[in-house]
Chains A and B, each alone.
Chain A
């Protein structure tokens, strides 16, 4: 699924790296516990989270993730956006709740992560 499509499905606002909207995501992970995110490598993944701190962006960077979606209108700080920008990670926010955001992406074909 193209990141652009994720934006449209979630009616999300893109906050950085708009130039990468045509990248393709193969998996996604909805999580507020960073070590759970780090447990299994996902290919070209999207992270949906309600947690807002710099570690969210660092975690995504460690995992080579390509997009972060903040749910429930949580807004990242400038520092977080700079870090994401630096690593080419698309950041967006949407006002859906986690369950609904994940459900929308899943039911439209972006199915989770394969455990390697």
Chain B
């Protein structure tokens, strides 16, 4: 298999106003590659939810999007507080978001369920006080 095309982003955790910028950028990049609108939408929504999560829950992190011939992999890594109970976090409506975060329009507890919904595979590795790595895969065609 040929080498994947890799897009790397550093996600700033200190400035909420920039949260989501990397996902807007990846959407542009994927459009240039000529992928179908549906695939582009699924990748960008999944990454957007993950990007916002890293900003509101984990002080930022990194995002890597790897475009292979038959699938796209999104890897979001942070050094935040980690997720104590992943099964619980995956439940619709579960959120530990602060009131400030809610007033910004987030904290419905729908992000991780959305990431699951829009991807073909999602894996969450998290260690308390060390960080979280979310790996998602979206098959092409």
- The B interface is mostly helix, strand or loop, or mixed, namely helix
Among B20, B105, B108, max chain A CB count under 10 A is at B105
Kindly supply a per-residue 1/0 record for chain A positions 77-100, scoring 1 wherever the CB is within 8 Å of any chain B CB and 0 otherwise.
001000100000000000000000
A35 near B44: Cβ-Cβ < 8 Å? no
User: In the complex, what residue of chain A is closest to B112 when comparing beta carbons?
Assistant: A35
Q: Are A62 and B105 in contact (CB-based, < 8 A)?
A: no
Contact check, A35 vs B20: say whether CB atoms are below 8 A apart: no
Bound CA–CA A73/B111 (angstroms): 28
| Bound Cα distance A79, B17 (Å) | 10
- B13-26 vs A, CB cutoff 8 Å, 1 = contact: the mask equals 00011111101100
Given contacts A36-B108, A61-B24, A64-B37, contact A53 B17 (CB under 8 A): yes
Whether the pair A32, B105 counts as a contact (CB closer than 8 A) is yes
For the complex, is B135 an interface residue (Cβ under 8 Å from A)?
no
B110 at the interface (CB under 8 A from A): yes
CA distance in complex: A58, B52 (Å): 11
Chain B minimum-CB-distance residue to A34:
B105
- Nearest opposing residue in chain A for B117, CB measure: A39
CB nearest to A77 among chain B residues: B17
Q: Which residues of A contact B49 (CB under 8 A)?
A: 35, 38
* With contact pairs A61-B24, A62-B41, A63-B41 given, residues A53 and B110 touching in the complex (Cβ less than 8 Å): no
**Does chain B have a CB within 8 A of A113?**
no
CB pairs A–B below 8 angstroms (7 shown): A36-B110, A39-B113, A55-B106, A62-B41, A62-B44, A63-B45, A79-B17
